[in-house]
Structures are given as C-alpha cells and as structure tokens.
Amino acid sequence: MAEAEPLKVALLGAGVVGSQVARILIAESATLAARIGRPLELVGIGVRRLDVERPGVDPALFTTDSAALVARGDLDLVIEVIGGIEPARSLLLSAMEHGASVVTANKALLGSDMAALSHCANANGVDLYYEAAVAGAIPIVRPLRESLVGDEIRAVMGIVNGTTNYILDKMTTAGLSFDVALNQAQELGFAEADPTADVEGHDAAAKAAILAGLAFHTEVRREEVFCEGISRVTETDIAAADQMGFVVKLLAIARLTDEPDARVIVKVHPTMVPKTHPLASVSGAYNAIFVESRDAGQLMFMGQGAGGAPTASAVMGDVVTVARNRLRGASNDMQTGYTTRGVAPIGDATARHYIRFDVADRPGVLAACATIFGDHNVSLQTVQQSHLEGARRQAGFEARLNVMTHEASETDLAAVVTDLHLASFVGDTIDVMRVEGH
C-alpha cells in the first residue's frame, strides 16, 4: 500500500514558541500521523534572519521570504507565532486566500482585527484556530466557541497575564514593592526587559477583546477595551485589601449590561477579589479564567498561560484539529460577530469600589464626605476612619477614610472623585480600586 500523502505545513516564526512547535512537528511526527490519520510535512519556516543557529532543524527549511512561502499554493496549514500586527496580518490573509488553514497564537492581531481574519477564513473555506492566543495551554477558546455555544454566557473574568499575576502575588505574599517584584519577574524570565505591555495591561486587553467576542458573539476590538495597569498599585493597596479579606489581581472582565438592549462591557484593571473567590488563590505566573453561564453555572479554567512549551501545546492541539478537518474536507465557521451588540463605554460599567483618602480630622467632615457620595447616587457599604501618625500624616489632614461602596456606575463614581478633589477638607491623593465577587 502506498504511503499516504502528507499534509504540507509552513511555520512562521522560530522564536521561543516557534522552535518548540518545530521540535514537536519533527520529533513527534509518527505520533501526530497516528492521531491525524496522515503525516504532517514541515516544508518551510519563515524567519527574519538566517544567521541564527537553530539546532535540530534542517537549515534548508528556513527562508526570509515568508510572503512567497505562504503564497506557494500547495500548503494545507500555516502556523503563525511571530506576533505583532504586520507582517502577520498580511501573511495570514495571503495564506488563507491561497487555500491554507491557519493556526495562530497572535493575540495582538486577533484583538485588533478578528472580524477581517474570520471573514477571510469563511470566504475561502478554511479554518482559523487560535487557542494559544489567550491563555497559553489553558483550553478556553474552544469551550467558549464550541462546548458552551448552546448556553448563555453571562460573564467571563480572568487572570490572563502571568507577569502581572506573579508581581501582585509577590507583593501580597512576600511584601515586596512593585519595583522589586518586577525586577524579580524579569530576572526569572517572566517579564520582558520592557514590561510595558504586561504591567500597563495592554497584553491582557487584547486577550479580553478575544474572550468577549467569543463569549458574546460580537465584534470587540482592542481599542474598545478599557485598560488600566498595575504600575500604580502600592504596598498600601495590598495591605488594605488583605485587612478587608481581599487580594489584588489584574483581571480581564467581560459581561453584558443590564439594560434591555444589552451591550458588552470589556475592561482590564487591578481588582480587589474576595479571598473566598476561586481566582484569589491563583498564584505565581499562572493564568485562570472564570466563566459564569446560565445552564452550566460557574466554570474555572486554570494553568500555565505563557512559555514556549505550554503555548506550543495549545498550538499543536489546534494543528491536530485543523489537520483532521482538512482530511474530512470540512472547516468550521469561525465568525463570532453575528449579534448586533455594541461595546458600552466604561462609564456604563458598574462595580463596587474601594476608595482611600485623607481628610481633616474635625467635626462635620465625615458627614460632608457622605453627602458628596449621596449627591452622585453612590451608596456607602462600609466606612473606616483611622488616625494618621508620623510620616503618614500630612499637614491639615490627620485622618484616613477607607470607604467601600455598594455597586455604582463608573460615571457616578468619577463624579464623586472629582468633587472630593475639590473639597478643601480632602487631601490631594485619592486612591480607587474596583471590587469584584461576593
């Protein structure tokens, strides 16, 4: 019997993840063939430079002409792990237009241009899979897109950036400052030399856009995601959260508004989470995603969210699925934006809020502060007042108020903060953190 003709595969990128994918394709070729039903043949690897040593891979496979590689016309599958918007976008569109299915780990591209990529895949009858783009080895894309498609998702909330979770975890468990924890994360390889994308929340925001689109079947672009990072989180914030039974996490949150014509709220920000909540115990550089649905109830997905091997594992899971689809002559419709829901502005979002500020310690001040909250329809849940001593004390502001509100809109809360800043009896610094969970 003649040997089955292999499926032709091209790989774009040979960095940390790409090198692991190439290793698996070569070293596990027999196992993959058994799982798929036909061998996979790696026919080319697009890279920026040819003068980098890449052990274990035939040098003849490497090319700097990635555009020609994806347009050769006989490819069954293109795997993209180069990241960024361009040239990845153009290369993937070309690959699909030339008949190849695509597996990508590119969260930035999917977060900004999911609709165009999905449309191209559907128009050309090919697959677009991206399990590795959101949380590394954690299987969350397929459950949202396939397993829960018959259910109604009510909220998706998660830790989707391992760097920030490691930093906040060390600030909580070891009492480190943000700067010291960040330096430690960089030394261990959890954070890049330029950590901006992680600590300012941009990485998490791209993933939040993807999750929101999947969960609520609507187009969500990265620029529509409210984004606030952790660089301003202090040891005082961590200690205050601990005293009240909370931990601080950078969360990506997507949920529907309550109005009849529900819209999608998508946001990323530091969040106080009750210690009893499943997300509170997620430590180190781990990721976790918490899903609330009408019928399935509460679901938790947890695992390694980054790194070459975990991400390559998710990529290869998609590769096997896409290859099987190829053999069946089928493809899955990847279009998620089939509802007309829009993305609501952050001002429409509601949450409980923790607010800390210093005030003058004299009669009537507490009542005046309560009036400011009440004037903007923000109800107070708890108020704690403490006397400031020594270096913590500013001239004229001898007391500190720690306020927990009931659920209030971001617009109303912002109006409260504005009026507090204008009040002569309130100090210059007003710290606000959102609260999730019960």
Low-confidence winner among 247-251, 287-291, 334-338, 365-369 (lowest mean pLDDT): 334-338
Binding site per annotation, positions: 12-19, 107, 192
User: Do the beta carbons of residue 169 and residue 283 sit within 8 Å?
Assistant: yes
The 10s digit of each residue's pLDDT in 265-324 is 999 999 999 999 999 999 999 999 999 999 999 999 999 877 788 889 999 999 999 999
- pLDDT 10s digits, 173-224: 999 999 999 999 999 888 889 999 999 999 999 999 999 999 998 989 999 9
pLDDT surpasses 50 at 328: yes
Of the pLDDT bands very low, low, confident and very high (cuts 50, 70, 90), residue 3 is low
| 275 catalytic residue (yes or no) | no
Return mean pLDDT, the chain. 93
The pLDDT value given to residue 264 = 94
Supply the pLDDT for residue 126: 96
Which residues are paired to 386 by β-bridges?
A: 400
Instruction: Write the DSSP string, 325-384.
Output: HHHHT---------S---BPPGGG-EEEEEEEEEE--STTHHHHHHHHHHHTT--EEEEE
Q: 3-class DSSP state for residue 400?
A: strand
Place of tokens 């976008």: 89
Which pLDDT value is given to residue 389? 77
- pLDDT at residue 267, as a whole number: 98
Which H or E run includes 128?
Answer: strand 128-129
147-304 shares its CATH topology with 349-435: no
> 357 forms bridges with which residues in the sheet?
401, 430
97's tokens: 């237009």
| Residue of 170, 207, 249, 267 with catalytic role | 207
Q: Residue 68 is encoded by which pair of tokens?
A: 């020609």
When comparing pLDDT for 2 and 44, which is higher?
44
- On the question of pLDDT at 79 being above 60, the answer is yes
For 374-405, the pLDDT digits (tens) are 999 999 999 999 888 765 667 789 999 999 99
Q: Please report, in range form, the residues annotated as the binding site for L-homoserine.
A: 192
Tell me the average pLDDT across 39-61.
94
Residues 6+ apart with CB under 8 A from 138: 287, 288, 289, 301, 302, 303, 304, 305, 314
Residue 1 — very low, low, confident or very high, per pLDDT cuts 50/70/90? very low
The reported pLDDT for the residue numbered 251 is 98
Supply the CATH classification number for the domain 7-139+309-328: 3.40.50.720
Distance in angstroms (rounded) separating the CA atoms of residues 201 and 194: 13
Q: What is the CATH number assigned to the segment(s) 147-304?
A: 3.30.360.10
Cα–Cα separations (whole angstroms), residue 118 to 196, 398, 410 = 29, 58, 33
- Say what the pLDDT of residue 339 is: 67
* Closest residue by Cα to residue 43 from 59, 61, 70, 29: 61
Binding residues for NADPH, as ranges, are 107
Find out if CATH 3.40.800.20 is the number for domain 349-435: no
Q: For the chain, what is the total number of helices (H) and then of strands (E)? A: 15, 17
**Residue 6: band (very low, low, confident or very high) from pLDDT cuts 50, 70, 90:** very high
Closest CA to 211 of 156, 292, 132: 156
Interstrand relation of 7-12 and 77-80 (parallel, antiparallel or unpaired): parallel
Domain ranges of the chain: 7-139+309-328, 147-304, 349-435
- Token pair, residue 64, equals 């700097």
Question: What pLDDT does 359 receive?
Answer: 96
**Residues flagged as binding site for NADP(+):** 12-19
Angstrom distance (rounded) from CA 348 to CA 265: 8
Is it the case that residue 96 has pLDDT exceeding 70?
yes
In this model, does residue 113 exceed pLDDT 50?
yes
> Exposed/middle/buried for 168, CB within 10 Å: 0-12, 13-18, 19+?
buried
Q: Please provide residue 47's backbone torsions phi and psi, each rounded to the nearest 5 degrees.
A: -135, 165
Residue 335 is predicted with a pLDDT of 55
- Over the stretch 119-139, which tens digit does the pLDDT of each residue have? 999 999 999 999 999 988 888
